[in-house]
Structure 1
């Protein structure tokens, strides 16, 4: 417990009793800065608690009878409450995550949950607490992940990929560095860029390979290694998928109309 400071009051919303009890148990045992001060079985009950009590964090399921988790999140934002909301769901469909991001959920994690996920998510929650919360406050607390913070987060990843595409990169690496759930970060990346992480990384590598081939300074094998492909056959396959021809044919016919060239 933080000496001299009150715990973060947490509201857990889920229509499944075992899930409510499980979250309460993990938070009590493993998250000493938090206390579950209220539980609700649907969004309407949650709103009642929020109107009457000082809540610092909401953890909510999506699919519930009556007002579901996304409707609850939307209502919270409509009322101008800047409370961080953590979405937990057994459903991995992109539309759910997209809506959660749109309405300002700070994270979206999938069931079945484990202790590590919950502990990590609650640690991240502290960084998005609004100034009125009882705990530590960061500069970006009042900026929801759907707007400037989310865009900046993805822009940082995009820039890192552009500068380091030759390295062995994955969205999991960035999620661990930045303290976000990998699935959530992947969906946020696609939401902001219109492309999946792997697609974006591949495009950066292929465009670099094209420029290197045009320069004529390196062999095709060396180019493959330079942009992060230790296996030439794999590089050749990806390059052909991207350009429509093998690297050697591209090199031999560089400058011609590519759609008129066929590999013999």
Structure 2
């Protein structure tokens, strides 16, 4: 289903965000198309699809900045779609880094956890108010605009003095960046890399200047701060999303890392 864009000219301004909707329920697709004030948001809604497979075929040839998608759909789920997009972005087959907002009727937080691991801007449960969806879209647009002004901004991995030269450590860092939301331990990474925990621990500190646990904690605190400042997730959900399912432990850990509670941090960022 093609939507008339506010800006039909192919040479549109680089900061204009293009969006698509994906949902297998017709009434939801029509409702999102008609009731969200796209013009006020300054977002061009260019296409609406009923499944992820249709969308990926379109996005291979048409850059899209914002994706508003259901999770459970025929042919290709929303999570499978975004995983595919990330692969294509890493392979430089897609020039844009699509910002994803999931709108799902499924309350199982494992869906949200996987969505956040894939870099989703927000995860909203149906039914969501139009205002709530528009707030998420505004956040996505702000990120798009910032990236247009400051391209190639470093991702979540913290800076180290030198790039690790060891293949093992490069691989370990990749695995940590992809799985830091899980209950992750050094011995798991060591086993998958076919080395001993002691050897990996020593090499990790030697090449990064940090211990495994410190590096993992840094990844998690960056993501927790990002979610507290930009998402509508509850604090306990953010704790689960970064690997701390115990709400009290998450709050104590965050207080120790940042010198304030998660609630105080969110209030200051509001």
Task: Name the TM-score, length of structure 1 as normaliser.
Answer: 0.58
Contact persistence 1:60–1:88 (CA under 8 A): yes
What is the number of equivalent residue pairs in this alignment?
184
Residues 50-69 of structure 1 correspond to what in structure 2 (within 5 A)? 50-69=59-78
Q: Structure 2 vs 1, CA of residues 114 and 33 (structure 1 numbering), >3 Å: closer, same or farther?
A: same
Stretches of structure 2 that go unaligned for 5 or more consecutive residues are 1-5, 7-12, 157-176, 181-217, 257-270
Q: Deviations over 1:98-131 (max 9, x none)?
A: 1111222121111102122111101110233287
> What is residue 120 of structure 1 aligned with on the other side?
135
Stretches of structure 1 that go unaligned for 5 or more consecutive residues are 158-173, 208-264
* 1:129 and 2:136 correspond: no
Contact persistence 1:129–1:141 (CA under 8 A): no
* 1:71 and 2:80 correspond: yes
* 1:190 and 2:240 correspond: yes
> What is residue 99 of structure 1 aligned with on the other side?
114
Q: Give the CA deviation at 1:193.
A: 4.3
> What is residue 98 of structure 2 aligned with on the other side?
83
* 1:14 and 2:15 correspond: no
Q: Structure 2 vs 1, CA of residues 186 and 31 (structure 1 numbering), >3 Å: closer, same or farther?
A: farther
Q: Structure 2 vs 1, CA of residues 27 and 153 (structure 1 numbering), >3 Å: closer, same or farther?
A: same
Q: CA RMSD in A?
A: 3.7
* 1:181 and 2:232 correspond: yes
> What is residue 233 of structure 1 aligned with on the other side?
none
Q: Give the CA deviation at 1:203.
A: 8.5
Contact persistence 1:128–1:142 (CA under 8 A): no
Q: Whole-Å Cα distance in 2 between the matches of residues 56 and 88 of structure 1?
A: 17
Q: Give the CA deviation at 1:192.
A: 1.8
* 1:32 and 2:102 correspond: no
Q: Give the CA deviation at 1:142.
A: 6.1
Q: Whole-Å Cα distance in 2 between the matches of residues 141 and 27 of structure 1?
A: 30
> What is residue 57 of structure 2 aligned with on the other side?
48
Contact persistence 2:41–2:138 (CA under 8 A): no
Residues 145-164 of structure 1 correspond to what in structure 2 (within 5 A)? 151-154=221-224, 156=225
Q: Deviations over 1:32-52 (max 9, x none)?
A: 311210011111100111012
- Structure number, greater radius of gyration: 1
Q: Structure 2 vs 1, CA of residues 83 and 29 (structure 1 numbering), >3 Å: closer, same or farther?
A: closer
SS at match of 2:242: helix
Contact persistence 2:67–2:101 (CA under 8 A): yes
SS at match of 1:101: helix
Q: Deviations over 1:141-169 (max 9, x none)?
A: 66379778864142x49xxxxxxxxxxxx
